[in-house]
Chains A and B, each alone.
Chain A
C-alpha cells in the first residue's frame, strides 16, 4: 500500500511542475510587465527603475526567472497583494475554508441525489421514471450555474423571501443561531453546485450500474434467493461505483469553475471571488497564486481518487 501511495505521489509531482511551467509561460508570454508603470512614471528616475528591475531579476533569462519563482513558491514566499498589501498566502488561507466548505457540502448533496436516482433508473431501465430522470439530468447539466443561481435568488429570496441572497462572513450571533444562519445562507450556493454535479453523476451511476447488472454473479446472487434490495445495494451498487470514482475526479476542474461563479453570484468570500476581484484590480501575485492553488486542488483530488480507486478495487491495486 505504501509503495502504491508513493508511486502515485511521484506521478503527481511532474503534473504539478507541468502546471507551474504552463502558468509561468502564460505570464512570461504576456505583454507588459509589473514595472511598466514605473517606466512611464516621470517621478521615478530611469536609473531607479533599472535598479529595481535588476533587483527583482526581470532582465534575467526566462529559465532562470522560472527557477527563482519556483524556489520562492516552494519556500512559501508567495509575495504580497498589490492592492491590500497583505501576504498572498495569509489572504488565501483566510478565504480557502469557505470555498472548501461550499464545495464539500455540494459534493455530499450531489452524491445523495445522484446515487439513489442513478441506481434506481438503471435497475428500472426504460421505465417512465428512468425517462423522467434522464430528462431532468439533461436539463440539470444544460442549466449554467450562473442562471440557476439567479433563478434561485429570484424564487427563494425575492418572491418567497425565505433565504438571504448575500453570504455574510460576519454573522452577529452566537451558538445555535449562528449555525442556523450559516446553514440558511449556505443552502442556495451548495444546492446550485450540487444540482449541476448531480445531473452528470446520475448518468455516470446509471451507466455504471447497467454495465454490472448483466454480469453472471448478479444472476447467481438472485438465484441464491437473496432479496432484490440486498442484490442491488450489496452486489450491484458496490461494484458499479468503482469507475464512477474516476469520473467524479475528472469532473473536478468543472466543479471549480462552478464554484467561482457561485461565489461571485452569492458574494461568498472564498478564493473564487478573490480571483475575480484580483483580476478586476490587476493584482498579479494574487491571480497567479490563486490559479496555482486551484491547480494544486485539482491534482490533490485526482490523487485522492486514484488512491480510493486502488482501495475500492483490489484487482488493480498496488501494481
Chain B
C-alpha cells in the first residue's frame, strides 16, 4: 500500500524495509516513472525556466514597467526592446516578466486554496457518513453546476471596490481573485478525497490503527491522508493551469487586475485593439499563457502516470 505514497512519513521513516536489497523509496520510484514521460520532463524544464525568468529576470532586465516613451511606440522586437513596445512605448519584456510573476502566483495560490478547501470538505464528508456526507456532497454537486465565469464576474463586480479600499488595489484584487478562483475549483478535489476516504477507512491498516486506540484526527492525518495524496497532487497541478486561464480570462475581459498592473491576460486585453498594426504585442503574452498552461498540463499528465500504480 505504501508503495506508491509520495513521501509518506511512515514509509520513509521506517528502516525495517531496508534489509530488502531491491527496495527503492516511493519518492525515487515516482521520480523514475515520471522521467519515462519525456514530454512531461521537457515541460517541467520549460516551466522551471519560466519560473526562474519571472523570479530573477527583473533583476537583470532593469527597465521600469511604466517607463513611457512615445518615440518608440508600437515597435516590433529589436535589440533595445527584445519583445517590442506597446502603444505608450512601454517595454514589453519587463511587463511580461512582471505580469508572469502575478499570473503564476495567482495560479499557485488559487491551487492551494482549492486543494485545502477540497481536501477539508472531502475528508469531512468521507469520515462522517450519513446526513453530513449527503449535505456536503449536495453542496459539491451544486457548485459543480454553477456557471463559473458569470459568478466570478458577479463576485468581482460586487466586492472589488470595498476590498481595494481595505488592503490596497494590488493586494485586494489579488486576494479576491485567488479566493474566488480557488472557491470555484475545490469540487473535483473534494470528490476525489471523499472517494478515497470511503475505501481507505475500511482497510485493515486503518482498522489496526483504530484498534490501537488512535483518535480520529490522528488517524486521518497520519494514515488516511498520506494515502490519498497522489490523485490530489495531480488534481492540484491541473488546477494551477485552470487558475492561470481563469485569471487571464478575467483580465482579458478587463475585469481582473487594474490597468497599471500588467498580467499576461491584461496585456492581451490592451493589445487586442492593435492586432492589425502590432501583432507582436498580443502574440507574446498569449504564447506565454499557452506555454505555461500546456507545460503544466503535461506535467500533470506525467504525474498521473507516475503516481497511479494502475497504469
Query: What residues of chain A have their CB less than 8 Å away from a CB belonging to chain B?
Result: 14-15, 18-19, 22-23, 26-27, 29-32, 135, 138-139, 141-147, 150-151, 153-154, 158, 250, 253-254, 256-257, 260-261, 264-265, 275-276, 279-280, 282, 287-288, 290-291, 294-295, 297-299, 302
B233 at the interface (CB under 8 A from A): no
**Contact between B146 and A287, CB atoms less than 8 A apart:** no
Min CB gap B84→A, angstroms: 15
Chain A residue at minimal CB-CB distance from B141? A15
From the candidates A139, A151, A280, A291, name the one contacting B294 in the complex (CB within 8 A): A139
**Contact between B146 and A27, CB atoms less than 8 A apart:** no
B261 at the interface (CB under 8 A from A): no
Measured in the bound complex, the distance between the Cα atoms of B286 and A31 in whole Å is 35
B83 at the interface (CB under 8 A from A): no
Q: A19-B142, A276-B153 are in contact. List 19 more A-B contacts (CB 8 A).
A: A14-B138, A29-B158, A30-B158, A30-B159, A32-B161, A142-B293, A142-B297, A144-B248, A147-B286, A158-B276, A253-B144, A257-B147, A261-B149, A261-B249, A280-B255, A282-B157, A295-B147, A298-B146, A298-B147
Give 9 CB contacts A-B under 8 Å: A22-B142, A23-B154, A26-B158, A31-B158, A31-B159, A32-B162, A154-B279, A256-B149, A295-B147
Measured in the bound complex, the distance between the Cα atoms of B158 and A288 in whole Å is 11
Question: 5 closest Cβ contacts across the A-B interface?
Answer: A30-B158, A257-B149, A294-B147, A142-B294, A147-B286
Min CB gap B268→A, angstroms: 7
Chain A residue at minimal CB-CB distance from B145? A298
How many residues in B have their beta carbons less than 8 Å from beta carbons of A?
44
Min CB gap B167→A, angstroms: 14
**Contact between A150 and B268, CB atoms less than 8 A apart:** yes
Residues of A with C-beta under 8 A to B255: 276, 279-280
Chain B residue at minimal CB-CB distance from A165? B275
B171 at the interface (CB under 8 A from A): no
**Contact between A147 and B275, CB atoms less than 8 A apart:** no
Q: Mark B267-290, 1 if CB is under 8 A from A, else 0.
A: 010001001100100110010011
Query: What residues of chain B have their CB less than 8 Å away from a CB belonging to chain A?
Result: 39, 138, 141-142, 144-151, 153-155, 157-159, 161-162, 241, 245, 248-249, 252-255, 265, 268, 272, 275-276, 279, 282-283, 286, 289-290, 293-294, 297-298, 301
Chain B residue at minimal CB-CB distance from A287? B154
**Contact between A144 and B245, CB atoms less than 8 A apart:** yes
Chain A residue at minimal CB-CB distance from B277? A158
From the candidates B145, B151, B162, B268, name the one contacting A291 in the complex (CB within 8 A): B151
Q: With A26-B158, A32-B162, A147-B289 as given contacts, are A265 and B142 in contact (CB-CB < 8 Å)? A: no
Residues of B with C-beta under 8 A to A280: 254-255
Min CB gap B289→A, angstroms: 6
Residues of A with C-beta under 8 A to B150: 256, 260, 275, 290-291, 294-295
**Contact between B148 and A257, CB atoms less than 8 A apart:** yes
From the candidates A146, A282, A294, name the one contacting B248 in the complex (CB within 8 A): A146
From the candidates A142, A279, A297, name the one contacting B153 in the complex (CB within 8 A): A279
Measured in the bound complex, the distance between the Cα atoms of B268 and A84 in whole Å is 30
Residues of A with C-beta under 8 A to B148: 253-254, 257
A to B contact number (C-beta, < 8 Å): 131
**Contact between B142 and A15, CB atoms less than 8 A apart:** yes
Measured in the bound complex, the distance between the Cα atoms of B265 and A27 in whole Å is 27
**Contact between B298 and A138, CB atoms less than 8 A apart:** yes
Min CB gap B93→A, angstroms: 19
**Contact between B147 and A154, CB atoms less than 8 A apart:** no
Min CB gap B264→A, angstroms: 10
Chain B residue at minimal CB-CB distance from A301? B145
From the candidates B145, B253, B268, B283, name the one contacting A276 in the complex (CB within 8 A): B253
Q: With A15-B145, A279-B157, A299-B145 as given contacts, are A143 and B290 in contact (CB-CB < 8 Å)? A: yes
**Contact between A253 and B253, CB atoms less than 8 A apart:** no
Measured in the bound complex, the distance between the Cα atoms of B146 and A298 in whole Å is 7
**Contact between A291 and B147, CB atoms less than 8 A apart:** yes
Q: With A139-B294, A146-B249, A287-B154 as given contacts, are A260 and B149 in contact (CB-CB < 8 Å)? A: yes
Q: With A147-B268, A151-B286, A298-B147 as given contacts, are A18 and B275 in contact (CB-CB < 8 Å)? A: no
Chain A residue at minimal CB-CB distance from B157? A279
Min CB gap A34→B, angstroms: 12
Measured in the bound complex, the distance between the Cα atoms of B154 and A19 in whole Å is 13
Q: With A280-B254, A287-B154, A291-B151 as given contacts, are A144 and B272 in contact (CB-CB < 8 Å)? A: no
Min CB gap A85→B, angstroms: 21
Residues of B with C-beta under 8 A to A158: 275-276, 279
Most chain A CB within 10 A, of B141, B145, B147, B298, is at: B147
**Contact between B154 and A291, CB atoms less than 8 A apart:** yes
Q: With A26-B158, A294-B150 as given contacts, are A264 and B144 in contact (CB-CB < 8 Å)? A: no
Measured in the bound complex, the distance between the Cα atoms of B158 and A241 in whole Å is 42
Residues of A with C-beta under 8 A to B162: 31-32
**Contact between A256 and B155, CB atoms less than 8 A apart:** no
Residues of A with C-beta under 8 A to B268: 146-147, 150
Measured in the bound complex, the distance between the Cα atoms of B278 and A158 in whole Å is 12
**Contact between B293 and A144, CB atoms less than 8 A apart:** yes
Chain A residue at minimal CB-CB distance from B142? A18
**Contact between B272 and A150, CB atoms less than 8 A apart:** yes
Residues of A with C-beta under 8 A to B158: 26-27, 29-32
**Contact between B146 and A295, CB atoms less than 8 A apart:** yes
Chain B residue at minimal CB-CB distance from A259? B149
Measured in the bound complex, the distance between the Cα atoms of B148 and A287 in whole Å is 14
Residues of B with C-beta under 8 A to A260: 149-150, 253
Residues of A with C-beta under 8 A to B249: 144-146, 257, 261
Measured in the bound complex, the distance between the Cα atoms of B142 and A19 in whole Å is 7
**Contact between B253 and A261, CB atoms less than 8 A apart:** yes
Measured in the bound complex, the distance between the Cα atoms of B159 and A30 in whole Å is 6
